[in-house]
Amino acid sequence: MTEFVAAIDQGTTSTRCIVFDAHGSIVATAQKELTQHFPRPGWVEHDASDIWRDAHEVTRAAIGEAGLTARDVAAIGITNQRETVVVWDRRTGEPVHRAVVWQDTRSGELVAGLAAEGGQDRFREATGLPLATYFSGPKVRWLLDQGLRERAERGELACGTVDSWLIYKLTGRHLTDVTNASRTMLMNLSTLDWDDALLDAIGVPRALLPEIRPSVEIYGEAIAEGLEGIPVAGALGDQQAALFGQTCFAPGEGKNTYGTGSFLLLNTGTEPVASTAGLVTTLAYRIGDRDPVYALEGSIAITGALVQWLRDNLGIICSADEIEELAASVDDTGGCYVVPAFSGLYAPHWRSDARGVICGLTRYVTKAHLARAVLEATCWQTREVAEAMRQDAGVELSSLKVDGGMTVNSLLMQLQADILGVPVIRPAVAETTALGAAYAGGLAVGLWPDVDALRAHWREDAAWRPERSRDGDYGQWLKAVERSTGWID
């Protein structure tokens, strides 16, 4: 058995492939930025052909960069932006529409209609999810309503989240992993199968959907050029992959990933825990035919994306890393709070009528204060979901494991420790999302015997301890959140 695993990490803003060795160390990386399309306010699209082209290209590049050939790679694991939907023609294998991205709000009216009939939580018991534009089912329904329904019912079209699209292009098989399926609002959390009542209510024919498989399993051999014969052997939604990569295998273990959005997940064991505090109940992973493991999740739509907005829409910084120096040039935000409700508010509020606000502006406030308030917005939103976690699972955080693109920002990490009041700990391999996918692939082909073998790989890189309590400012943040709601009628 060869000792290398390639992990494809298809994120919202970029696609990368990382080759890991049997110790979980990075051997080679290749990455491509993904073009974002914003055709109307609230709409976010990706070109699914770009997604596949980039994934194919970076995988071949990373394997080459590692000095390997396809024969030296034990498995390809996949991790991906979740909820985003792709619909393709089964005959040509080509997409019939741009992918509708998780942040996209075009299904707002559909979602409001469904909520009017049975309340926002009508599918919560079956799916663990509140009705929101975030999840895939209503996005699929919107796509079918664009003249695709008849073809879908005749079985000519296939649909899936990004894992499913990549597995299809890699192996020719139409499958999805159970963690991704749990984000569609079409899968029943207990049966782990598509639920006819949900399919009916949301208006999605079963014929369109992939088969739901465990997260750790050999799905098939790659047939894509240059990758022929590599087992495609594990898939997890990116937030679940980060939980896996952080080796949070025991109930009560959790992590927060800071990327385009931020997602705090807590392993709750083999029984789903229902949320009453605005969190989402979701699949954490399933290894082969063993009992599935569930998680509670605090999903925050916009964190790193707010830094991008400061860069691309306002031009206040030229690159994301410039925000740290600018924000550090002042001691506080000058009383300014930014609530980035660009796609409404996700956990714990689930308010699709919210839109972004900046509160507390005076003539004193400079771009440096604004930059600092942008960083604090990530931290305050995280505090809100951590509080919800305490209410739902009775878990009092004693520290927080972190990862994701924003965690290179030390000021942000210090602000997070201050605002949460607990130490924030970053592991040596910050690419935990890709690592989790590599672990899933490697476990499936027997590179590692079990999850216990993976724990030994986790090492701390840096920790930030609370230096200044910010409890006194939390009320002000909540007031700002209140002001963002009720904007859309």
Ligand X SMILES: O=P(O)(O)OC[C@H](O)CO
Question: What are φ and ψ of residue 220, in 5° steps?
Answer: 160, 175
Residues 6 or more apart whose Cβ sits within 8 Å of residue 472 = none
Binding site annotation covers 421? no
CB of 306 to ligand ADP, least distance (A): 8
- Decide: 406 and 424 in contact? Cβ < 8 Å: no
- Token match 């082909």: residue? 445
Binding site annotation covers 15? no
Binding site annotation covers 16? yes
Q: Residues touching ligand ADP: how many (CB under 6 A)?
A: 20
Output 29 or 171, the one with its CB closest to ligand ADP: 29
Which of ligand X, ligand ADP, none has residue 317 at its interface (CB below 5 to 8 Å by kind)? none
x-or-dash string of contact with ligand X, 2-41, rule CB under 6 A? ---------xx-----------------------------
Site for ligand X in 232-261 (CB under 6 A): 237-239, 259-261
11 part of the interface to ligand ADP, by CB under 6 A: yes
Site for ligand X in 32-91 (CB under 6 A): 81-83
Which of ligand X, ligand ADP, none has residue 102 at its interface (CB below 5 to 8 Å by kind)? ligand X
Binding site annotation covers 82? yes
Residue 157, classified by CB atoms within 10 Å of its CB into exposed (0-12), middle (13-18) or buried (19+), is: buried
β-pairing verdict for 400-403 and 337-339: unpaired
Please report, as a single letter, which amino acid is at residue 96.
Answer: V
Output 81 or 407, the one with its CB closest to ligand X: 81
Give the residue among 283, 128, 116 at the shortest CA–CA distance from 201: 116
Pick left, alpha or beta for residue 278 (phi over 0 → left; psi -120 to 50 → alpha; otherwise beta).
left
408 part of the interface to ligand ADP, by CB under 6 A: yes
CB of 387 to ligand ADP, least distance (A): 23
Pick left, alpha or beta for residue 220 (phi over 0 → left; psi -120 to 50 → alpha; otherwise beta).
left
Residues 6 or more apart whose Cβ sits within 8 Å of residue 304 = 13, 258, 259, 260, 261, 262, 320, 378, 404, 405, 406
Torsion from C-alpha of 315, 239, 115, 348, nearest 10 degrees: -70
Site for ligand X in 423-452 (CB under 6 A): none
CB of 284 to ligand ADP, least distance (A): 19
Please report, as a single letter, which amino acid is at residue 418.
Answer: D
Binding site annotation covers 470? no
CB of 174 to ligand X, least distance (A): 21
Which of ligand X, ligand ADP, none has residue 14 at its interface (CB below 5 to 8 Å by kind)? ligand ADP
Stretch that binds ligand ADP, among 6-14, 88-96, 136-144, 273-281 (CB under 6 A): 6-14
CB of 442 to ligand X, least distance (A): 21
β-pairing verdict for 211-213 and 175-177: parallel
CB of 78 to ligand ADP, least distance (A): 14
Residue 478, classified by CB atoms within 10 Å of its CB into exposed (0-12), middle (13-18) or buried (19+), is: middle
Buried b or exposed e, range 72-93, using 16+ CB within 10 angstroms: ebbbbbbbbbbbbbbbbeeeee
Binding site annotation covers 381? no
Stretch that binds ligand ADP, among 11-19, 213-221, 280-288, 459-467 (CB under 6 A): 11-19
Query: Can you give the binding site for ligand X, defined by CB under 6 A?
Result: 11-12, 81-83, 102, 237-239, 259-261
Query: Can you give the binding site for ligand ADP, defined by CB under 6 A?
Result: 11-14, 259-260, 304-305, 307-308, 320-321, 323-324, 404-406, 408-409, 412
